[in-house]
Amino acid sequence: MKFELCAAGFGGQGVMAIGQLISYAAVEENRFALFLPSYGPEMRGGTANCICIVSDQQIGSPIVPKNESAIVMNTPSFFKFEPTIEKNGCLLVNSALINEKTARTDIEAHYIPANHIAAEAGNKIVANIVMLGALLKLKNFAKTETIQKVIKEKFGSKGSKIVDMNMKALQMGFDSV
């Protein structure tokens, strides 16, 4: 099993958290994981993206010439990363913020109004977790229970209300595709 993801958006949209949670889940399931963050000039508001690779075998390089899957949270990320998806790859688009549609017919594209779903879950700040839930259903890169466990570990210090909101967002994202 090998899974590769690029998650991209503005700083503050939680794209790094997506990569971290996937990597933590991989380690929890005794797999190899690589997480490679890339930040723009500003932490919040600038551009940010990460590469995340999960494999049953050692990972030789963080270089991914084409992305197997991509989550794009804003329009600049759509234009930058949509062309980098490999044939038969998967693109998840936050359609609440991105009006663009891919013209490519050789990839699977899903348009998820993540900000709107996140608002229903309690706060638009969990839009990244909505996208993570959708990706989990589509790509099955980890067990749902493992993702739930690492969410509890990552956000547990912020209180049960935050954990519950993230769990609800994860499920709503899962159900959105």
pLDDT at 63: 83
Tally: H helices and E strands in the chain? 6, 6
pLDDT at 93: 98
Domain extents in the chain: 2-175
pLDDT at 153: 97
Q: What is the SS3 assignment for 113-125?
A: CHHHHHHHHCCHH
Cβ atoms 87, 157 nearer than 8 A: no
Can you give the pTM of this predicted structure? Answer: 0.94
Cβ atoms 97, 112 nearer than 8 A: no
Q: For every one of its 177 residues, what pLDDT tens digit does the chain have, with 9 covering 90 and above?
A: 899 999 999 988 999 999 999 999 999 999 999 999 998 765 566 679 999 999 999 998 888 889 999 999 999 999 999 999 999 999 999 999 999 999 999 999 999 999 999 999 999 999 999 999 999 999 989 999 999 999 999 999 999 999 999 999 999 999 999
Cβ atoms 116, 136 nearer than 8 A: no
Cβ atoms 72, 91 nearer than 8 A: yes
Residue 74 phi/psi, 5-degree rounding, is -145, 165
pLDDT at 119: 98
Q: Which long-range contacts (CB under 8 A, 24 or more apart) does 78-86 make?
A: 80/8, 81/6, 81/8, 81/49, 84/6
Q: Which long-range contacts (CB under 8 A, 24 or more apart) does 56-65 make?
A: 56/1, 56/2, 56/31, 56/32, 57/2, 57/32, 58/32, 59/32, 59/33, 59/34, 62/34, 62/36, 64/4, 64/6
pLDDT at 44: 60
What architecture is domain 2-175?
Answer: 3-Layer(aba) Sandwich (3.40)
